[in-house]
């Protein structure tokens, strides 16, 4: 049996279209509201078709001391589905999750994205919080 962690893939987002790219500053002050996002396909577009799509993105924060915290999740539900057939629909959701966060300690932002055909992909970004 495989641990889930061994099944999560990562790579350079500039060469691999599945890797979520974390948008957040390198540093911020404790208590400030910070714009944070995770986007799949910033350098290389990932397909968004009825057959092949990013289903969801989650964003986590791992403080230097303490367990990982789930900051939020976005599910992407429109991929051209239609009664007329696959890819005949009129709506698509782009795989981007954005929110605002407030941190009181330094740590690492972690993003996790799920492709319906190619599994789980992650990335990480260190953020330094000052008093
Ligand atoms: Fe994929």
Question: pLDDT of 70-91, one tens digit each?
Answer: 999 999 999 999 999 999 999 9
Please, is 67 exposed, middle or buried when counting C-beta atoms within 10 Å of its C-beta (0-12, 13-18, 19+)? exposed
Q: Is there a catalytic annotation at residue 52?
A: yes
Cα dist from 66 to 24, 30, 41, 108, 126, whole Å: 21, 17, 31, 12, 15
Find the catalytic residue in 9, 16, 62, 125: 16
Ligand 1 mean position, distance from CA 28 (Å): 33
Ligand 1 mean position, distance from CA 32 (Å): 35
Q: Is there a catalytic annotation at residue 16?
A: yes
pTM: 0.95
User: Residue 45: pLDDT above 80?
Assistant: yes
Q: What is the CATH number of the domain that holds 108?
A: 2.60.40.730
Domain that holds residue 85: 4-130
- SS3 state of residue 19: coil
How many structural domains comprise the chain? 1
- Tens-place pLDDT, residues 101-129: 999 999 999 999 999 999 999 999 999 99
Find the catalytic residue in 9, 62, 81, 118: 118
How big is the chain, counted in residues?
Answer: 131
* Percent of the residues in the chain that have a pLDDT greater than 70, as a whole number: 100
Q: Which of 14-18, 54-58, 62-66 has the lowest mean pLDDT?
A: 14-18
What is the rounded (10 degree) CA torsion for 29, 99, 106, 63? 150
User: Residue 51: pLDDT above 90?
Assistant: yes
Ligand 1 mean position, distance from CA 126 (Å): 26
Q: How far is the first Cα of the chain from the last one, in angstroms, to the nearest whole number?
A: 44
């Amino acid at each position: 049996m495989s641990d889930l962690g061994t099944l999560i893939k990562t790579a350079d987002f500039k060469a691999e279209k599945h890797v979520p790219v974390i948008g957040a500053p390198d540093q911020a002050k404790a208590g400030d509201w910070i714009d944070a996002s995770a986007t799949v396909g910033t350098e290389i577009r990932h397909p968004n078709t009825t057959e092949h799509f990013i289903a969801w993105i989650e964003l986590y924060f791992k403080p230097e001391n303490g367990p990982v915290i789930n900051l939020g999740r976005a599910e992407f539900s429109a991929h051209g589905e239609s009664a007329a057939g696959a890819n005949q629909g009129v709506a698509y959701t782009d795989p981007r999750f954005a929110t605002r966060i407030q941190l009181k300690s330094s740590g690492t932002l972690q993003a996790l994205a799920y492709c319906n055909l190619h599994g789980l992909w992650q990335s990480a970004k260190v953020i330094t919080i000052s008093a």
